[in-house]
Amino acid sequence: MDSTVSIEGSVAPGFEAVAEAFGRNFSEHGEVGASLGIYLDGESVVDLWGGVADVGSGEPWTRDTLAVTYSVTKGATATLAHLLAARGEIDLDAPVADAWPEFGANRKGRITARDVLSHRAGLPVIDAELTREQLIDGVPVVEALVAQAPVWEPGTAHGYHALTYGWLMGEIVRRSTGRRLGELFAELVAGPLGIDFLIGAPPTDHARIARLIDPDPPEPAEIEAIPDPAARAQVIELIAALSDPDTLISRALNSNGALPTPDAAAWNDPRIFATEQPATNGVSNGSSLARMYAACVSEVDGVRLLDEETVAAATVEQSSGHDEVLLEDTRFGSGYMLLSPGCPMLSEASFGHVGISGALGFADHDAKLGFGYVQNQIGLGLTGEPRTETVIKALRAALET
């Protein structure tokens, strides 16, 4: 491990190489502050943290430090949605308009919650020009999504609903249950498991949320050094699309410039911490994330979130191939990412979600495993995410011995 960074926590025998890989992230991959959790058969086998939570103050990362996980939040929202569906409180395959009648306007009458979860609803962007204050409020976003038409015919293609996924699922849950998504997540998921995972963090928790750090922009030489010509061309295309405010990816990630994503200054705002944006603003740590996913595939201290039938249905591939927004191939079940180059996990039996920052949470059904990695240094990710890939490689080796 990097001797300049103090790594704390616990590691079960046989997982020492995983701890070493986590430590090397600080010396070899520019990690600043992070936490890692792994559960196996319902028991914690890795619970580590280290580095700095706030580079401005020098505050160290502790056991209680949380961080904005960006799109890792989508996996938590999906877990709640499947739990509610299993309880009969949401019908994922019924038209959203059954519970939210006005949503059916402008060719949206046949869109289902499963379409939203699998990024097939055709609503990856907000047509209205809204301010950041309106985005934080949320109600104007919901009204705008009601008024607009889909970008493509729902169900005929898929494209990453980077931010709209959260506003849509939040309103679907509210209309179906009469309660807020963040409130239900706390009651049905976080509370029973005793985990630190908040979708809408109260001011009393803001002091322990690590401050995100922007990455340095890529140098032309870094791009030219990508050995695979196809991968290099894809990176060049992506950078060009992100720099054009009219492309789907730019609009989806930036909400027409009102909430740039990823962007440390925008997302370090306490107003962002406090609102409910169930696609992107969940705050958690590695151990809590791993514990949540472990409870999707095994009992954790007597708690099992999703039964076998629910897991099987949730992980049926719904979307694959070219993503109309991200301009690369992606794979999704219902709310969860499936194993793909853009989402490195343990095996084909894994399901979870990455965050654009570099965070990652997933379960592996066959290994009965939950994994969580949370950090404050936003990753560049030109050809993958070396921090989580390095740890997963060591984890795979540990499980095979």
Closest CA to 159 of 336, 317, 381, 319: 319
Report how far residue 92's alpha carbon sits from residue 98's, in angstroms, rounded to the nearest whole number.
11
Distances in Å between the alpha carbon of 282 and those of 206, 245, 296, 383?
A: 12, 26, 18, 25
Rounded CA-CA distance 201/73 in Å is 13
- Cα 55 from Cα 33, distance rounded (Å): 9
Whether the CA torsion 225, 227, 230, 231 is positive or negative: it is negative
From 322, 377, 309, 328, select the one nearest 120 (Cα to Cα).
322
Q: Which helix (H) or strand (E) holds 192?
A: helix 191-193
Contacts of 313 (CB under 8 A, 6+ apart): 82, 334
Q: Residue 322 has what DSSP assignment?
A: E
Q: Catalytic site residue 3?
A: no
Render the burial of 258-271: b for 16+ CB within 10 Å, e for the rest: bbebbebeebbeee
Q: Which two tokens stand for residue 53?
A: 């939570």
How far is it, in rounded angstroms, from Cα 65 to Cα 270?
15
- Structure-token match 């705002």, residue found: 269
Dihedral (Cα; 226, 356, 293, 272), 10-degree rounding? 170
Which DSSP category does 200 fall into?
A: S
Q: Do 122 and 248 contact (CB within 8 A), yes or no?
A: no
Q: Which residue has the tokens 């989580």?
A: 388
Question: Among 71, 288, 298, 350, which one carries the catalytic annotation?
Answer: 71
> What's the sign of the alpha-carbon dihedral 19, 21, 26, 32?
negative
Helices 164-177/139-147 angle, 10° precision: 100
Residues recognised as catalytic: 71
